[in-house]
Structure 1
């Protein structure tokens, strides 16, 4: 099975205020996001993170926390690089890292990207 998520921003304290996330701090946010993911994604599933696994800048302690979050994620982990994914995040042992991906799920072609796409008004669905 394939699972898709975007912008978890693990350990990014300022994302809580920026996006009005209902958490008192990054520790609570990390725990909740990880629990929700682990409740759904199985060991043989593909987990696609469509960018911004964390915030770009991070201290040594924050990097250790983010690495721990990465290793706690279930399934085969794929990163579609976002604007806040620095090299040290991309260097984690992902099953794949790319700017975009073109995959087929249930005979449907999906184009994965961190950034929004615009389609033409007359496009067929």
Structure 2
């Protein structure tokens, strides 16, 4: 059965991100290899992965080598660090699909690189990257940056379980009967 995964902000080949985000790697080679291994542990060949931007700081040849080693059908939503390269550059490098804008997934999830403003009355969940180790509070945002997920893609099933659990907690917190015995 095909599974769907979300991830973002790998920054393959970006030395400075190790320091900026206190990543637990000695150098970019260790970081790249660890993230490739983590991706392939989680994602099967037939699975689909939405990468929500800032994939690689490497040239096309090196980026292509990494993409060829990663399992799954890969869709890239361009991040701020990806936009210096054309959509065709990313397709040539090995992504099967590339979107310059966000995507609406299953009519409920807004999948973007940067988090969007979502007030509590909006009926959507924004699945995003960009903010690395930071986290937005509330049920309307879901940060899939690698720093939150042990440098692996997170499955749609796991995302749904977490959202269901947080909505149940939120419902109980606002239910005046939930504190009665």
When the two structures are superposed, what TM-score results if normalisation uses the length of structure 1?
0.83
Which one of the candidate residues 44, 49, 66 is aligned to 2:46? 44
Gaps of 5+ in 1: none
Q: Separation in 1 of the partners of 2:25 and 2:68?
A: 22
User: Contact 1:11–1:65 at 8 Å: present in 2 too?
Assistant: no
In the alignment, the residues of structure 2 paired with residue 119 and residue 8 of structure 1 have an alpha-carbon distance, to the nearest angstrom, of 25
How far did 1:97 drift?
Answer: 0.6
Q: State the 1:121 CA deviation.
A: 3.6
Give the CA deviation at 1:27: 0.3
- Tell me which of 71, 74, 96 is aligned to 1:77: 74
Unpaired segments ≥5 residues, structure 2: 124-138, 140-181
Residues 96-119 of structure 1, C-alpha deviation per residue, up to 9 Å, x if partnerless?
A: 111211122xxx622110011121
1:103–1:110 Cα contact (<8 Å) kept: yes
Please report how far the alpha carbon of residue 90 of structure 1 lies from its aligned counterpart in structure 2 after TM superposition. Answer: 5.1
| CA drift at 1:93 | 3.1
After the TM superposition, list the runs of 4 or more consecutive aligned residues in structure 1 that deviate by more than 3 angstroms. 88-91, 121-125
**Structure number having the greater strand percentage:** 1
Structure 2: distance between partners of 1:5 and 1:21? 16
Instruction: Tell me the residue number matched to 2:55.
Output: 53
Q: How far apart are residue 123 of structure 1 and its match?
A: 4.1
Give me the TM-score of the superposition, normalised by structure 2.
Answer: 0.59
What SS does the aligned partner of 2:22 have?
coil
The question of 1:97 aligning with 2:94 is answered no
Shift of 1:40: 0.9
Instruction: Choose the corresponding residue for 1:30, options 29, 32, 36.
Output: 32
Point out the structure with max Rg over C-alpha: 2
